[in-house]
Amino acid sequence: MTAQNELRLLPWSGPDGKPGYLSSDDGDSYMSRLADNTETAQLGMATQILDHARDVLGGSDSDPEELRSLAAELTLALRDTLRVATSRGGRLR
């Protein structure tokens, strides 16, 4: 069995919201590539949401509903970005 510090944190949660981990010595396995592609997509979406936030916050006519929606999007993007950072940081060792 692989030690906990050798497991890769996956960029998605399980159905119960708990983190999922990948145990593989093959960085080119199907699941590793899927995780890599998902991380790339998540970081790309975070960049797009950040650009959108700059536009919304730079204007003076944003309504409260738009700001609430933006806050929700930013929260999800930050969650995903932190998960990617944690996963990649854990693989640096």
pLDDT digits (tens, 9 = 90+) for 11-68: 999 889 999 999 988 889 999 999 999 999 999 999 999 999 999 999 878 899 999 9
Closest CA to 23 of 92, 85, 82, 91: 91
Of residues 2 and 89, more confidently modeled: 89
pLDDT of residue 2: 46
- 8 Å CB contact between 49 and 74: yes
pTM of the model: 0.84
Q: Are 34 and 18 in contact (CB under 8 A)?
A: no
